[in-house]
Amino acid sequence: MAEKTAESEDEGGKGSPVEDDSIRSNLSWIIGLFAVMLVGAIAVALETSPKAFGFGLLLSGASLLAGVIVGLLFGIPRALQYDRPAENNEESDSSRSSGLGYRANTNLEQISDWLTKILVGVGLTQITKIPGMFRALGGYFGPALSSSGHGEHLALSIIGFFLPCGFLFGYLWTRVLLPRALVQADLSSVITARINERLRKKEDINASALSMVERWLDQDPKVATEIDPKKMAEAIKQASPTVKVQIFGMAKRVRSENWDKPAKKWLVERTIPIFKALAESAPDRFHRNYGQLGYALKDQGTPDWTEAERALSRAIQIRGPLNRQTVGWSLYEINRVICRIEQDPDFQAQRPSAPETKKVISQDLRVAAVYDNGRFLGVAPIQEWMRLNGVTRDDLIA
């Protein structure tokens, strides 16, 4: 129920239509009270002299304030607080993380309860003396309002008029507007607590992901034995975008520094689950994740030509057609063509490729000839394939 209320407050900033209609109805009573009090103030102005009018307003205000305080005491809402034992530890943990971390202070409610009972009790026991007390108030304030004999009656009229008005105003305000304000304050506290809890969990995940990746890529193979690759991949997927960028940089640096060192091929293999996790966390974005994954699959100790080609093709698909902005990523086609050549059974048998295979490979080779000035055409498998198939750089450019 609290979650639904929080969602309604977040989405629309308003309660239900029934609740809004109820508030409008009660607000109309408060506005009506203002009109009645304005009429009373006009009556005070008409019944007092210009010199006594200021005192009459002060007496009206004091009576109104006293009534408001009493109305507040009678109308203060009580917070619903109860302890429900959790069925299991998981429920207890979730309630701690999603609820408030403190109890609302109910001292004012208790004071209101005590004073209300005292006022009612004293009023019932001293009910016979109350008329005399009011007459005494009239006799005390009367001379300041009028020098004639009706000053006492005027003072009693002001007190008798504005005291109930203040009581009704204070009571209605606490019953209509104060609970809504308190609920909104509690919801704000709950939402803030949940956000802080999520941020704390995210920080823990980020720290865990960075720590595991760092140990996984350590130069000492024994350090990585402490890491579960599945848990590391899950942590990477849940990490924040900033941390993912850091992890990508760490893995890319290890791959690029060791891809051409036979003794360090195992480090290249270590980057594969990292690039896979990064790619799976954003499958339709960031072609560099797929590109680095393809490079690692191609350059590991035992190359996986099929998966490398698939990863590089996905990188090319996300990158889009080559242009001035993407010309730096033409290495995807150049590495993919090596994967395709290595998978070509005709090439392995040292004979020309089938026409369809030749066409697909030539398309990627054209990128090497046009965008990279042919600097990769001399690589062993590419050069050998071109010789077997009678393809020259001029043919590719043409």
- Best-predicted range by mean pLDDT among 139-143, 150-154, 310-314, 317-321? 310-314
Which residues contact residue 115 at a Cβ distance below 8 angstroms, ignoring those fewer than 6 apart?
73
Q: Per the domain annotation, does 88 fall within a domain? A: no
Q: Per the domain annotation, does 268 fall within a domain? A: yes
Could you tell me the residue range of the domain that residue 346 belongs to? 332-398
pLDDT at 130 over 80: no
Looking at the fold, whether 239 and 364 belong to one and the same domain comes out as no
Domain endpoint, select from 196, 231, 262: 196
Looking at the fold, whether 20 and 74 belong to one and the same domain comes out as yes
Looking at the fold, whether 172 and 124 belong to one and the same domain comes out as yes
291-314 b/e (C-beta count within 10 Å ≥ 16 → b): bbbbbbbbbbeebbbebbbbbbbb
Q: Per the domain annotation, does 90 fall within a domain? A: no
Q: What confidence tier does 26 reach under pLDDT thresholds 50, 70, 90?
A: low
| Helices then strands, each counted (H, E), the chain | 18, 0
d(CA 256, CA 182): 59
Q: Per the domain annotation, does 359 fall within a domain? A: yes
What single string gives the DSSP state of each residue in 270-286?
A: HHHHHHHHHHHHSTTS-
pTM: 0.58
* Identity at 290, one-letter amino acid code: Y
Looking at the fold, whether 276 and 143 belong to one and the same domain comes out as no
Check which CATH number belongs to the domain holding 293 and give it.
1.25.40
Number of domains in the chain: 3
Q: Per the domain annotation, does 87 fall within a domain? A: no
Looking at the fold, whether 315 and 349 belong to one and the same domain comes out as no
Looking at the fold, whether 121 and 255 belong to one and the same domain comes out as no
Cβ atoms 321, 304 nearer than 8 A: no
Q: What confidence tier does 308 reach under pLDDT thresholds 50, 70, 90?
A: very high
Q: What is the mean pLDDT of the chain?
A: 80
The reported pLDDT for the residue numbered 345 is 95
Q: Per the domain annotation, does 92 fall within a domain? A: no
Q: What is the mean pLDDT of residues 204-216?
A: 91
Domain endpoint, select from 292, 320, 348: 320
Q: Per the domain annotation, does 209 fall within a domain? A: no
pLDDT at 14 over 60: no
